[in-house]
């Protein structure tokens, strides 16, 4: 995990998305959670078991398995969320942002329903890991974004809602959150892939040199941007080796 305030934090938990997210919440004060895009409800169930007050929300209420135990509210991310302002301490948005055409509207709505000081936990496929970077070099495709969308929807017209539409680098997500008054505090990943260490052995020197050269060239030309901050994130083990990018952000 990267702590955006500068402190290194070790993550010894199991490297799966569910376990990582639940581990994050296990260290947070109890409060009211909106699991947005909840799917079958496994995350909502785990959070309920931890003692959080959970509301689950998705377009497909038939897929949700825990109607008897957890409040479910149908929602459409293309429209205003059916919740009052500043209603939740936490919002969970897992593996969803890459599916929506209107991400600025969605994040704006999340900011609206989050209380001041509330927390957003967001995840998306990590297209900046080494495997994805090398795949893009040879294929022109990121990991998790390999199918051509037009061809796919012609073959599976009913499956478009499950397609990964928009690949997100950390940089764009950070800005999207910032412009909607959400400040990134921590960065996690769910699965460190040991196989990528060999790629790092091969590519570490040119990648580090390129980052250093960018910093030096910009400083020499009097550039207004200091690239050391972002390069520290891009060269972190979470982004180089991690399967998913998990962001914890605070509503200002």
pLDDT in tens, 208-217: 999 999 999 9
Q: Calculate mean pLDDT across residues 106-123.
A: 98
Q: What's the pLDDT score for residue 82? A: 97
Domain assignments of the chain as residue spans, ordered by start: 2-193+242-251
Core vs surface per residue 41-52: b (16+ CB within 10 A) or e: bebbbbbbeeeb
DSSP string, 98-156: GG-S-HHHHHHHHHHHEEEEEEEEEEEE-TTSHHHHHHHHHHS--TT--S-HHHHHHH-
| Class of domain 2-193+242-251 as given by CATH | alpha beta
DSSP 163: S
36-60 pLDDT, tens digit each: 999 999 999 999 999 999 999 999 8
Check residue 3 and give its pLDDT: 59
13 pLDDT band, cuts 50/70/90, is very low
């Amino acid at each position: 995990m990267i702590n955006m305030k500068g402190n290194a934090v070790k993550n010894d938990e199991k490297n799966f998305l569910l376990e990582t997210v639940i581990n994050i919440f296990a260290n947070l004060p109890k409060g009211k959670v909106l699991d947005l895009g909840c799917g079958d409800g496994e995350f909502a169930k785990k959070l309920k078991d931890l003692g959080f007050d959970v509301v689950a929300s998705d377009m497909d209420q038939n897929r949700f398995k825990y109607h008897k135990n957890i409040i479910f509210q149908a929602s459409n991310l293309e429209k205003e969320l059916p919740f009052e302002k500043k209603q939740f301490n936490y919002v969970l948005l897992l593996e969803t942002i890459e599916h929506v055409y209107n991400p600025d509207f969605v994040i704006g709505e999340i900011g609206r329903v989050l209380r001041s000081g509330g927390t957003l936990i967001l995840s998306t496929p990590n297209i900046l890991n080494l495997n994805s970077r090398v795949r893009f070099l040879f294929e022109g495709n990121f990991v998790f974004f390999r199918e051509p969308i037009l061809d796919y929807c012609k073959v599976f017209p009913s499956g478009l809602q499950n397609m990964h539409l928009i690949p997100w680098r950390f940089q764009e997500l950070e800005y999207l959150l910032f412009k909607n008054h959400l400040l990134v505090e921590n960065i996690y990943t769910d699965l460190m892939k040991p196989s990528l260490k060999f790629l790092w052995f091969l590519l570490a020197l040119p990648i580090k040199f390129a980052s250093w050269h960018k910093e030096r060239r910009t400083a020499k030309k009097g550039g207004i941007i200091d690239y050391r901050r972002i390069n520290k994130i891009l060269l972190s083990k979470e982004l180089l080796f991690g399967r998913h990018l998990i962001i914890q952000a605070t509503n200002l």
